[in-house]
A and B are shown apart, each in its own frame.
Chain A
Amino acid sequence: MDVLLDNLDLYGPFFWTTIKLFLISGAASLIFGTFLAGLRVSPVPVFRSVGTTYVTLLRNTPLTLVFVFLVFAYPLLAILQLSYFAAAVVALTLYTSAFICEVVRSGINTVPVGQAEAARALGLSFTQILGQIVLPQAIRSVVPPLMSMLIALLKNTTIAAGFSVAEAGAIRQYLSERGDNQLIGLLWVALGFIVLVAILSMIQRTLEKRWSVAR
């Protein structure tokens, strides 16, 4: 308890950074991932292969490697300088959206064929079918896997600690400088994550109940 109470000035702001990282990159990867899923089911073959290539590459690259590239290698290219926090958001978004894309795509596959057929019979265009008919139903049916992706994203934010972002994973480093017990400090961090994951699982259950599609 002492380790936590003595270092509340660390735990508070650092966990807040974690939550900010999670919210920003979560929202960004939901948007980008859905966009990628749209590419992967689009009528234009080139769009499909672009989407597939992106997903294959990013899904098979370790997130730590994406971080190393963005933090150590990318600045050498002198395109647009990113702060450490921004680099972490970009890395997490690039990586997570590849997984979100696959979840959304599997959701699109669960929507009964008749829905899209009826929409086509009404003369809706591809973007209208996807945006107004299929995606709303698809997202509702993939709430559980989508939430597991977001939970994975939350846990993945700890990797940013290795790349100069002052978030929950970095608490240990500061504790060691202050000479506190790192084991107990880390256990508190672990507990913090268990609480956050529990909150997300609760949101998942509520959404699932409210959005479940009766078929």
Chain B
Amino acid sequence: MSNVLFDVPGPKARFRYRLLAVAGVVIVAAILAYIIYRFIDSGQFSARRWDWLQYAQVQRDLLDALLATLQAFALGAVLALIFGAIFAAGRLSDHAWVRGVSTFVVEFFRAIPLLILMFLFYYGGPALGVSLPPFVAVVLGLTLYNGSVLAEVFRAGILALPRGQSEAAYALGMRKTQVMTLVLIPQAIRSMLPTIISQLVVLLKDTALGFLVTYPELLYYARYIGSQGAFGRPIVPSTIVVAAIYIALCLLLTALANYIERRQRRSKKRGEVARPPATEEVLGVA
């Protein structure tokens, strides 16, 4: 589409674009160079500040922290998918009271900031006489928030299917449950898979909120290492390392989503199951 916005450049335009490109490169390079200069000048790139990465104990701890992040992600993702499936079914139920309750729950947890949810479980628990460990608070928060978003994704996927699908299934004499489980849900999951995975990317990023409820995950560890005087307080190097890990993990998941999307587009068996436009944009934010 973007090539519709401008003509194929002629000699003059090509020259102009080249000038602009040079100017752009110079500006970006200047900004990056200044930042890197500041890094070097303030000693962030000195060997002493990166030394910590070489300690076997630090590497093991870093792995443990990564594992903690992945544990929260994995459990949160599985529970959120289950929660989402249950409440999507609830919102599509024939019984008004089931619909009402499910809609209320989904809308409620979608409107509350995830961090406040985690605070509720972590700091609010003791008021009721139960104190939850940070891990449980993080996973509960992730489950309820992302589960509600996923419920909306599932519902949108089912509603976007052509009506003929359910009508044909009913005409064959199937019960509502059969129509759902045998006809609608399999198709909906296929068409919504990219959106579901990008919501899981959001969930993975949100595990970093555990940092604020003292869950010892990656970011928490980066802050811890960054405050160690013995290593010269390498907070800049440690955040860079952790950022690289997060970005790599998220890109892996995104690559999976793209791969599935491409494979789906190629398969001819799949009918015209149009995803509602911009669902990803509507739902896919922390």
Q: Residues of A with Cβ closer than 8 Å to B?
A: 40-41, 43-48, 50, 56-57, 59-65, 68-69, 72-73, 76-79, 99, 102-103, 106, 108-110, 113, 116-117, 120, 126, 129-130, 134, 142, 144-145, 148-149, 152, 154-159, 161-162, 169, 172, 176, 181-184, 186-187, 189-190, 193-194, 197-198
Contact = CB atoms under 8 A, between A and B. Distances in A.
Chain A CB within 10 A, most for which of B38, B125, B205, B281: B281
B113 interface: yes
B128 A183 contact: yes
Contacts of B281: 99, 102-103, 106, 142, 145, 148-149
B5 A116 contact: yes
A190 B115 CA distance: 10
Contacts of A145: 278, 281-282
A30 to B, nearest CB: 14
B120 A190 contact: yes
B235 interface: yes
A77 B35 contact: yes
B277 A110 contact: yes
Interface string B191-202: 000000000010
A43 B243 contact: no
Given A44-B24, A73-B235, A169-B115, A186 B1 contact: no
Given A46-B25, A120-B6, A148 B282 contact: yes
Contact of B20 (A47, A172, A198): A47
B21 A45 contact: yes
Chain B CB within 10 A, most for which of A60, A116, A126, A142: A60
A169 B111 contact: no
A33 B242 CA distance: 25
B4 A117 contact: yes
B143 interface: no
Contact of B254 (A60, A62, A103, A117): A60
Given A64-B209, A126-B6, A145-B278, A79 B116 contact: no
A27 B127 CA distance: 39
A50 B27 CA distance: 11
Interface in B262-286: 277-278, 281-283, 285-286
Nearest to A96: B285
Contacts of A176: 123
Top-3 shortest CB links A-B: A183-B124, A62-B208, A60-B250
Contacts, number: 189
Contact of B208 (A64, A134, A194): A64
B7 A172 contact: no
Contacts of A155: 112-114
Nearest to A114: B4
Interface in B122-156: 123-128
Given A116-B5, A158-B113, A169-B116, A68 B283 contact: no
A50 B212 contact: no
Contacts of A73: 226, 235-236, 239
Interface in B12-56: 13, 17, 20-21, 24-25, 28, 35, 38-39, 42, 44
A90 to B, nearest CB: 14
Contacts of B9: 43
Contact of B205 (A40, A63, A154): A63
B223 interface: yes
A68 B223 contact: yes
A194 B116 contact: no
A206 to B, nearest CB: 18
A190 B205 contact: no
A172 B137 CA distance: 16
A76 to B, nearest CB: 6
